[in-house]
Amino acid sequence: MTSEAVQAAVAVMPGFLAVKVKDFFLPHRRATRFDLLLEVVAFSVANFVAAQGVLGIFGRSLADYSGSLAGYLSTLGACSVLLGLLSGWVVGGDLHYRLARWLRITRRTGRLDVWQDAFSDLRANWLVVHMNDGRRAVGWAKYFSDEGNRPSVFLKNAAWVEDDGAQHPIDGEGLLVLDQARISYIEFRGQEGRVTT
């Protein structure tokens, strides 16, 4: 491996680290290699700028670490982790789109679909899951799928709901409703899980 290849690898390693930390906070995505490469390069540049800025506050520069690869990489590595955490928090919490909606720039969210919007924004809710075969189940949404095209949800403190509204608690930890159950719709009931007819 040539010294130029080593320098290129060292230059983009902080970007890869920042992307991995950021992606920890987000649902699995299917990015193309080109998209990933652009994101890595953008994070690498941002890491260098941020590290220079932070070191500049203390009257230092990344050039001060030119003789020490370990010091150079640890400085960029720490900056990469912090930048990845910050961007993961912003993107994972949809904060950038919230700001854009508040400024009336857009009405969109940064999430994949409405399924993810509903489950992310309406966390403290009892759900009534209606299935195509007419069955209903009520419970507290503990886990849910990332995308609505294959909907599944795990209901804690779950119960089957009869036509008259009577509830029959399910023994055990809860009920996993898979996408094979063909969910037709979900009611978000708020803090109270009572179901009426």
Question: How does residue 197 score in pLDDT terms, banded at 50, 70 and 90?
Answer: very low
Residue 159 within a domain: yes
Query: Both 94 and 146 in a single domain?
Result: no
68 to each of 47, 54, 74, 162, how far by Cα in Å? Answer: 18, 18, 10, 70
Q: Greater confidence, 96 or 4?
A: 96
Residue 80 within a domain: yes
Using CA atoms, how far apart are residues 130 and 134, in angstroms rounded to an integer?
Answer: 7
Tokens representing residue 54 in the block: 């932070």
Place of tokens 């924004």: 121
Global pTM value: 0.66
Residue 196 within a domain: no
Q: Which domain holds residue 13?
A: 3-100
- Which pLDDT score, from 0 to 100, does residue 154 have? 93
Count of domains observed in the chain: 2
Tell me which amino acid residue 22 is: K
- Which pLDDT score, from 0 to 100, does residue 31 have? 75
pLDDT score of 85 more than 60: yes
Query: Both 57 and 16 in a single domain?
Result: yes
Query: Both 39 and 126 in a single domain?
Result: no
Residue 175 within a domain: yes
Q: Report the percentage of the chain scoring pLDDT > 70.
A: 85
* pLDDT tens string 130-188: 998 999 999 998 888 887 788 889 999 999 999 888 899 999 899 999 988 889 999 99
Query: Both 23 and 87 in a single domain?
Result: yes
Q: Alpha-carbon torsion 86, 89, 94, 100, what sign?
A: negative
Query: Both 22 and 67 in a single domain?
Result: yes
- Asked if 169 and 156 touch (Cβ cutoff 8 Å), the reply is no
Q: Greater confidence, 193 or 153?
A: 153
Using CA atoms, how far apart are residues 73 and 9, in angstroms rounded to an integer?
Answer: 12
- Domain end, chosen from 100, 122, 145, is at 100
* pLDDT tens string 50-71: 877 777 776 777 666 655 667 6
Query: Both 120 and 70 in a single domain?
Result: no
Domain of 164, CATH number, reads 2.30.30.100
SS3 category, 120: helix
